[in-house]
C-alpha cells in the first residue's frame, strides 16, 4: 500500500520530517518572496480505502508511486500550513492516477471535499467510461474539470498513448459544451516534444475552443529539451495553460518564462508525491532524483553529510520558480497570477 500518514490526532507517520535545514531554507529563499495567497492547481487527495487494494508490485514499479502518500484533503491543508505558514493556501484536488485504485470512490470524495469548501474538485475519468454517465456525475459533483490520464489506458500503460486515446472525443465534448477545464498529463516517451502530441493538442484547441486546456508538468518537461522542442513545434502557445508541477529545473523555467505568457502559467505542487528531501540532476533529456529517504529507486547515494543538507523537493521547486520570476523581471502582480489568479481563471472560479 501507499504509505499512510496522518498529521492529525491519529499521528502514525509524518508526511515529512521538517529539519532545521528546511526551516533555514524557507527563511532564506522563500519567506520574503512567497505570495501571501496561493492557489495550487495540482494536488492529489484521497483516502486509504481508495487505494489499499493496489498491489505492492504496482507501487514499486514506478518511482513516484513508491514515494507517494495517502493524503486526505485535511492533511493536504495541514501540510501546506506547515510548509508555508505565512501563506493562505488553497488548491484544486483530484484523485491519484492508479488504474487499480477506486476511481469512483475518489471522485465522490473530492466532490464532497469541494462541497465542504476544502478544495476545487477535478474528476478523474477512465477512457472506457460512458460519456452520458460521466456528464451526469460531472455536473452533480460540481467539478471544475476533468483529469484524464494515459496510465488509465489498457490497464496501466505508460507507453505511447495518444491524447484522444486517454481522453476520447466524447469526453472532450462534455468539457467543451460546459466550458470547463481539462488537465492533461501527456503521455509518450518524447513528452511535449512528440509530434503526435503536438498534433493532438492543436486538434483539441481547434475542435474544442471552449475547453480550457491545462498541460500538466509543463508537458512533462522536467528537462529543457522537451519544452523547447514542444514550444517550437506548437508555434503560438496561446490557448494553452501550463502547470509547473514537479518541475525544479531552472533551465526549464527560463524557457517557460521566455516563451509562455505569464498569464498562462500555473503553480502546482503534486502534493502526495514530493514530500521527500532531495534534488534532481539532469542532462538535456534525462533526470535523476537524489534523496536521503529510503526508496528502492534511490541508488545515487551521497555522503551522509551531503544528504543532511538536502531540503524538501517542494522547497527546491518553490525556490526555482521564485528565482525565475525574479530573473525574468515579472511584476508582483504577475507573480500572484502565476501562484493563483491564473488557475482561478482557468478553472472558472
Q: How far is the CB of 18 from Zn ion (least distance, A)?
A: 23
Complex with Zn ion: residue 213 or 334, whichever CB lies closer: 213
Distance CA(162)–CA(160), nearest Å, equals 6
Complex with Zn ion: residue 194 or 270, whichever CB lies closer: 270
Q: How far is the CB of 270 from Zn ion (least distance, A)?
A: 5
Complex with Zn ion: residue 75 or 270, whichever CB lies closer: 270
**144-152, 262-270, 305-313, 316-324 -> range binding Zn ion (CB under 5 A):** 262-270
Q: How far is the CB of 341 from Zn ion (least distance, A)?
A: 21
**50-58, 84-92, 123-131, 268-276 -> range binding Zn ion (CB under 5 A):** 268-276
- 45 with 119: CB under 8 angstroms? yes
Complex with Zn ion: residue 270 or 316, whichever CB lies closer: 270
**14-22, 85-93, 147-155, 267-275 -> range binding Zn ion (CB under 5 A):** 267-275
Complex with Zn ion: residue 228 or 270, whichever CB lies closer: 270
Complex with Zn ion: residue 176 or 321, whichever CB lies closer: 321
Binder to Zn ion among 40, 75, 270, 316 (CB under 5 A)? 270
Complex with Zn ion: residue 72 or 176, whichever CB lies closer: 72
Q: What is the 3-state secondary structure (H, E, C) of the chain?
A: CCEECCCCCCCCCCCCCCCHHHHHHHHHHHCCCCCCEEEEEEEECCCHHHHCCCCHHHHHCCHHHHCCEECCHHHHHHHHHHHCCCCEEEEEEECCCCCCCCHHHHHHHHHHHHHCCCCEEEEECCCCCCHHHHHHHHHHCCCCEEECCHHHHHHCCCCCCCHHHHCCHHHHHHHHHCCCEEEECCCCCCHHHCHHHHHHHHHHHHHCCCCEEEECHHHHCCCHHHHHHHHHHHCCCCCEEEECCCCCCHHHHHHHHHHCCHHHEECCCCECCCCCEEEEEECCCCEEEEECCCCCCCCCCCCHHHHHCCCEHHHHHHHHHHHHHHHCCCCHHHHHHHHHHHHHHHCCC
**80-88, 107-115, 270-278, 291-299 -> range binding Zn ion (CB under 5 A):** 270-278
Q: How far is the CB of 315 from Zn ion (least distance, A)?
A: 18
Q: How far is the CB of 42 from Zn ion (least distance, A)?
A: 6
**77-85, 132-140, 169-177, 269-277 -> range binding Zn ion (CB under 5 A):** 269-277
**156-164, 204-212, 263-271, 312-320 -> range binding Zn ion (CB under 5 A):** 263-271
Q: How far is the CB of 269 from Zn ion (least distance, A)?
A: 9
Which residues share a beta bridge with 122? 145
Complex with Zn ion: residue 147 or 335, whichever CB lies closer: 147
Q: How far is the CB of 149 from Zn ion (least distance, A)?
A: 9
Closest C-alpha among 216, 283, 278, 208 to residue 239:
208
Complex with Zn ion: residue 229 or 270, whichever CB lies closer: 270
Q: How far is the CB of 254 from Zn ion (least distance, A)?
A: 23
Q: How far is the CB of 44 from Zn ion (least distance, A)?
A: 6
Distance CA(43)–CA(118), nearest Å, equals 12
Which residues of this chain interact with Zn ion, rule CB under 5 A? 270
Amino acid at each position: 500500500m501507499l504509505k499512510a500518514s496522518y498529521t492529525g490526532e491519529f499521528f502514525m507517520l509524518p508526511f515529512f520530517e521538517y529539519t532545521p535545514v528546511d526551516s533555514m531554507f524557507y527563511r532564506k529563499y522563500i519567506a520574503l518572496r512567497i505570495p501571501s495567497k496561493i492557489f495550487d492547481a495540482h494536488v492529489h487527495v484521497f483516502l486509504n480505502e481508495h487505494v489499499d487494494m493496489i498491489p505492492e508490485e504496482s507501487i514499486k514499479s514506478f518511482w513516484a508511486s513508491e514515494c507517494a502518500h495517502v493524503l486526505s484533503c485535511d492533511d493536504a491543508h495541514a501540510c501546506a500550513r506547515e510548509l508555508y505558514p505565512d501563506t493562505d493556501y488553497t488548491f484544486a484536488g483530484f484523485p491519484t492516477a492508479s488504474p487499480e485504485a477506486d476511481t469512483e470512490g475518489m471522485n465522490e470524495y473530492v466532490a464532497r471535499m469541494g462541497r465542504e469548501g476544502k478544495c476545487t474538485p477535478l474528476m478523474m475519468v477512465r477512457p472506457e467510461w460512458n460519456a452520458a454517465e460521466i456528464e451526469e456525475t460531472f455536473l452533480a459533483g460540481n467539478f471544475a474539470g476533468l483529469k484524464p490520464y494515459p496510465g488509465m489506458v489498457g490497464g496501466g500503460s505508460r507507453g505511447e498513448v495518444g491524447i484522444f486515446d486517454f481522453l476520447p472525443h466524447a469526453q472532450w465534448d462534455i468539457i467543451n459544451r460546459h466550458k470547463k477545464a481539462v488537465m492533461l498529463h501527456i503521455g509518450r516517451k518524447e513528452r511535449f516534444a512528440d509530434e503526435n502530441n503536438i498534433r493532438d493538442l492543436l486538434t483539441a484547441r481547434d475542435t474544442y475552443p471552449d475547453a480550457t486546456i491545462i498541460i500538466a508538468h509543463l508537458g512533462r518537461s522536467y528537462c529543457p529539451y522537451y519544452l523547447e522542442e514542444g514550444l517550437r513545434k506548437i508555434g503560438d502557445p496561446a490557448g494553452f495553460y501550463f502547470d509547473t508541477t514537479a518541475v525544479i529545473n531552472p533551465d526549464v523555467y527560463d524557457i517557460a518564462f521566455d516563451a509562455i505568457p505569464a498569464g498562462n502559467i500555473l503553480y502546482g505542487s503534486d502534493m502526495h508525491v514530493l514530500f521527500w528531501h532531495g534534488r534532481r540532476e539532469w542532462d538535456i533529456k534525462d533526470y535523476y532524483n537524489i534523496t536521503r529517504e529510503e526508496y528502492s529507486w534511490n541508488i545515487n547515494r551521497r555522503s551522509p553529510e551531503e544528504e543532511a543538507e538536502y531540503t524538501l523537493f517542494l522547497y527546491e521547486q518553490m525556490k526555482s520558480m521564485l528565482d525565475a520570476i525574479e530573473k525574468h523581471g515579472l511584476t508582483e502582480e504577475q507573480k500572484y497570477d502565476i501562484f493563483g489568479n491564473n488557475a482561478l481563471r482557468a478553472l472558472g472560479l
